[in-house]
Amino acid sequence: MVKLTLYGLDPSPPVRAVKLTLAALNLPYEFVNINIIAREQLSSAYLEKNPQHTVPTLEDDGHFIWDSHAIIAYLVSKYADTDSLYPKDLLQRAVVDQRLHFESGVVFADGIRRISKSVLFLGETKVPKERYDAIIDILDFVETFLKGQDYIAGNQLTIADFSLISSVTSLEAFVPLDPVKYPRISAWIKRLEQLPYYEEANGKGVRQLVAIFKKTNFSWST
């Protein structure tokens, strides 16, 4: 019997990407909440599992994997009945991988982490306008990626959708999505919201994250 444990917290976009993947694969797992504001990720017990002290961390039969992109690719490769979520076709996989790298290196790094670190951990209330501009650039790219297709890496649902939907919807904490300017993104979000597991795996966590940042009363500097 599969024994999986996921360490993280619902407001975290990368954690939600893993929860979406686990739900899509119908894999049972134990969820252990890690309060990063309280620095629980720096405990000796957690550092033994993940010396990089990030969330999420996945435990599978005594083995520990971290980084959401590595985790979701691993889960599909090991447990999926088909390769639809992470195609074995090299060209299709390359597109999925590109989107995953885009999420990691651009959306999360430039659009979420820099703001989260300064506001939540350093207590800053003014965020440089260049961070706002970075989010607009991100949304412009995602809108372009969706041209002529229903999903982020083509016309079928893949782990790239799980990774990017978790972070793109989280940008709502900083910049409300304009459905007129970004009709493809708006339609894509609505499409994924129809997944039976979406609300539990991603929707509620997005609202929690938005509420957290709303309480900070941060604003953009000029």
- What residues are annotated to the active site? 12
d(CA 139, CA 13): 16
Query: Which residues sit opposite 219 in a β-bridge?
Result: 126
Instruction: Tell me the torsion sign for CA atoms 65, 67, 172, 152.
Output: negative
SS3 59: strand
CB 100: neighbour CB atoms within 10 A? 25
Which structure tokens are listed for 173?
Answer: 């904490």
Taking the C-alpha atoms of residue 152 and residue 17, their distance in angstroms, rounded to an integer, is 14
For the chain, give percent helix, strand, coil, nearest 5.
55, 10, 30
Q: Measured in Å, how far apart are the chain's first and last C-alpha atoms?
A: 56
Beta strands 4-8 and 57-60 are: antiparallel
